[in-house]
Amino acid sequence: MLDIDFDSVRNNHYDVSLFASGYESRCIHVPGLIAPNVIANPFVFGFTEEAHSGKREQNNEFYIEKWRLEPIPLSGDDERPIYAHLQEKTQSLTRPVRILIDYSSMSRLWYAAVLNWARFATDKEVIMDFIYSMGRYEEEEENSMVIREMVSIPGCEGRAYRLRESVAVFGLGFNGLAALCVLDRLEADTVYAFLASPGSSEEYVAKTRRINKDLINNPKTKAVLPLPLASIETCYRNLAETIALHRPDGEITFVPMGPKPHILASILVAMRFPEVACLRVSGAPNPADVMPAGGIVATRVILTGES
């Protein structure tokens, strides 16, 4: 896994691409910068939830006009059709498979499904380029999330039993009260936290610390790691080093509630170490618009048939 620049993405050719059409304006930022002729089999999935909220209808029209694609309806809680689409379009290939995933506004179940397909459903080498458009958020002090579900992301279930200690690693975002509720449910012995710093703006770094001050100051919290939003490679390395001492006999659970690059880094750590779990904490949809801030995070993950 390594950081790459967006120009290398635009100059590449892909066998399959996955886009998402939701209610955020940034849904179409990255696809607007890529020429359709570099992708053999593009797909766009449209959330069945909040189908008429925000910029959703305009986003659908963009994909129809530029990409000649009708969004495929799919729930954010359902990733199963993604496996079938990937298998259908790649089974005849006799070389490494190249896939582009714009996960800027995508359900984490969807982009985790691409990784799980590469891990378990094919014996080919798979080169996956994950692209994220940094966002500019509506000015709310804190997102109010009522927790609907708290489950392991498929492929990131961790240990089925508890050993000496319970360790929770929180990725901090704008859901401070929800993070505290999860901490209370986990009853962790040791807590670590990480946040995007540098992030998309200095204002968001200060806001994240302010919203999560109770978790940051919790006596069980041993360290708060500032990790760059723009480098998943750095995040992955630091998170793996943080949990290294706890892996032999600890029950380790990642709870990423911050920006999606940090969620992807957490998923990759959990997939690399089978004793580590990664939770998906979900609530009712909050159709607040997120505008593209201009920055793009690009990450390449390569899995071989033996991975």
Q: Give the model's pLDDT for residue 137.
A: 82
Cβ-in-10-Å burial (0-12, 13-18, 19+) of 119 comes to middle
C-beta of residue 72 within 8 angstroms of C-beta of residue 48: no
Share of the chain above pLDDT 90, in %: 84
**d(C-alpha 195, C-alpha 200), whole Å:** 12
The alpha-carbon radius of gyration of the chain (Å, integer) is: 19
Contacts of 56-63 with CB under 8 Å at 24 or more apart are: 56/21, 56/22, 56/23, 59/21, 59/22, 59/23, 59/27, 59/28, 60/21, 62/28, 62/31, 62/32, 63/19, 63/21, 63/28, 63/31
How does pLDDT run across 260-278, given as a tens digit for each residue?
A: 999 999 999 999 999 999 9
Same fold: 2-137+289-303 with 147-283 = yes
CB 146 within 8 A of CB 152: no
Name the token pair of 183.
């901490």
Residue 29 pLDDT exceeds 80: yes
- Give the pLDDT of residue 306: 57
**71 to 62, 63, 77, 271, 285: CA distances (angstroms):** 10, 7, 17, 29, 19
DSSP for 220-252 reads TEEEEEEE-TT-HHHHHHHHHHHHGGGTTTEEE
**Can you give the pTM of this predicted structure?**
0.95
Mean pLDDT, all residues of the chain: 93
Which has more confidence, 163 or 307? 163
CATH fold for the domain made of 147-283: Rossmann fold (3.40.50)
What digits encode the pLDDT tens for the residues 185-202?
Answer: 999 999 999 999 998 888
- Are 9 and 130 spatial neighbours (Cβ–Cβ below 8 Å)? no
The CATH topology of domain 2-137+289-303 is Rossmann fold (3.40.50)
Q: 250 falls in which pLDDT band (50, 70, 90)?
A: confident
Query: According to the model, what pLDDT value does residue 288 have?
Result: 79
C-alpha 161/C-alpha 275 separation (Å) is 10
State mean pLDDT over 140-149. Answer: 74
CB atoms within 10 A of CB 163: 13
Confidence of residue 88 (pLDDT cuts 50, 70, 90): very high
pLDDT of residue 143: 65
The proportion of the chain whose per-residue pLDDT surpasses 70, expressed as a percent, equals 95
Q: Residue 242, Cβ neighbours under 10 Å: how many?
A: 19
Strand 165-171 relative to strand 97-102, pairing? unpaired
- 244 to each of 21, 125, 260, how far by Cα in Å? 38, 28, 23
Categorize the per-residue pLDDT at 40 as very low, low, confident or very high, splitting at 50, 70 and 90: very high
Distance, in Å, from the CA atom of 20 to the CA atom of 269, rounded to the nearest integer, reads 24
Which residue carries 């401070």 as its tokens? 176
Q: Give residue limits of the domains in the chain.
A: 2-137+289-303, 147-283
